[in-house]
């Protein structure tokens, strides 16, 4: 029976050129783990919060190039969106729409605010700093999207009803179709209703690696 050995590296794995040989890598206790779990150990999973504690955002009237929450991915960086959560605290308007989408350019800041929290590494000692920028509430147009595509949509046709416990979305990487954003690119969320705009919170979580990992 053959013994198998690997290289025990968790935080700072080496990266090699396409087609190169590389030793199998293990955790320090000798096990292999899923790719995203390994990126978490490296400190390469990040999150941003739009709206915080008991202060929700008031989402914007529908307008092209004015997202409510977005992640700007710079050239040289790639991200793997993991989950997008939208919680509607109030939805007094009708036809409240949520649209999660990506595009093939960095749409910039327009006139907007920095995300209330983040990007922060979900490894609490933060060995890696995100290269991305998290923004919220574009009140003036951002740069027009290049080749935008919706990954997930949800519509609530009626105004908020008493007794509803949850309105919003919990969209996983699988539900989004396993997107990979090669910078420059943008991951966006639009939330809008007719008449009264909804209020609520957005949480965006992603893994971030050098673009050369995939190119």
Rg (CA), the chain: 19
**Cα separation of 24 and 194, whole Å?**
54
Give the per-residue pLDDT at 94. Answer: 86
Is the pLDDT at 114 greater than 80? The verdict is: yes
Task: Specify the higher pLDDT residue, 188 or 13.
Answer: 188
Question: What single DSSP character describes residue 15?
Answer: -
Please give the pLDDT value at position 33: 77
Q: Count of CB atoms within 10 A of residue 112's CB?
A: 19
Distance CA 117, CA 113 (A): 11
Q: Is the pLDDT of residue 27 over 80?
A: no
User: Peptide bond preceding 119: is omega within 30 degrees of 0, i.e. cis?
Assistant: yes
Mean pLDDT of the chain: 88
pLDDT higher than threshold 70 for residue 83: yes
What average pLDDT score do residues 168-189 get?
Answer: 96
Share of the chain above pLDDT 70, in %: 83
Structural contact between residues 82 and 151, judged by C-beta atoms closer than 8 angstroms: no
| Mean pLDDT across 179-190 | 97
CA-based angle 191:91:133, to the nearest 5? Answer: 30
pLDDT per residue as tens digits for the range 31-66: 777 889 999 999 999 999 999 988 999 999 887 799
pLDDT of res. 20: 61
Sign of CA dihedral 176, 50, 88, 58: negative
| Residue 136 CA to its chain's centroid (Å) | 13
In degrees, rounded to 5, the angle at the alpha carbon of residue 78 between the alpha carbons of residues 113 and 170 is: 60
Report yes or no: 156 and 72 within 8 Å, Cβ to Cβ: no
Higher pLDDT, 34 or 10: 34
Mean pLDDT across the stretch 107-126? 95
pLDDT average, residue stretch 139-157: 94
**Structure confidence at residue 154 as a pLDDT band (50, 70, 90):** very high
Higher-pLDDT residue of 4 and 71 is 71
């Amino acid at each position: 029976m053959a013994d198998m050995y690997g290289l025990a590296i968790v935080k700072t794995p080496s990266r090699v050129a396409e087609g190169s040989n590389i030793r199998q890598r293990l955790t320090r206790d000798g096990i292999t783990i899923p790719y995203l779990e390994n990126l978490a150990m490296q400190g390469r999973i990040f999150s941003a919060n739009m709206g915080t504690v008991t202060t929700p955002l008031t989402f914007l009237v529908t307008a092209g190039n004015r997202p409510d929450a977005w992640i700007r991915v710079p050239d040289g960086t790639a991200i793997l969106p993991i989950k997008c959560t939208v919680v509607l605290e109030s939805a007094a308007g009708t036809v409240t729409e949520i649209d999660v989408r990506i595009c093939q350019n960095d749409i910039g800041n327009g006139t907007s605010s920095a995300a209330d929290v983040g990007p922060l590494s979900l490894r609490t000692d933060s060995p890696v700093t995100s290269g991305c920028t998290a923004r919220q509430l574009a009140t003036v147009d951002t740069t027009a999207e290049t080749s935008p595509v919706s990954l997930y949509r949800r519509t609530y046709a009626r105004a908020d009803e008493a007794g509803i416990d949850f309105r919003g979305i919990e969209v996983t990487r699988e539900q989004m179709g396993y997107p990979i954003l090669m910078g420059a690119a943008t991951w966006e969320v639009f939330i809008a209703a007719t008449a009264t705009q909804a209020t609520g919170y957005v949480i965006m979580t992603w893994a971030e690696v050098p673009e050369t990992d995939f190119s």
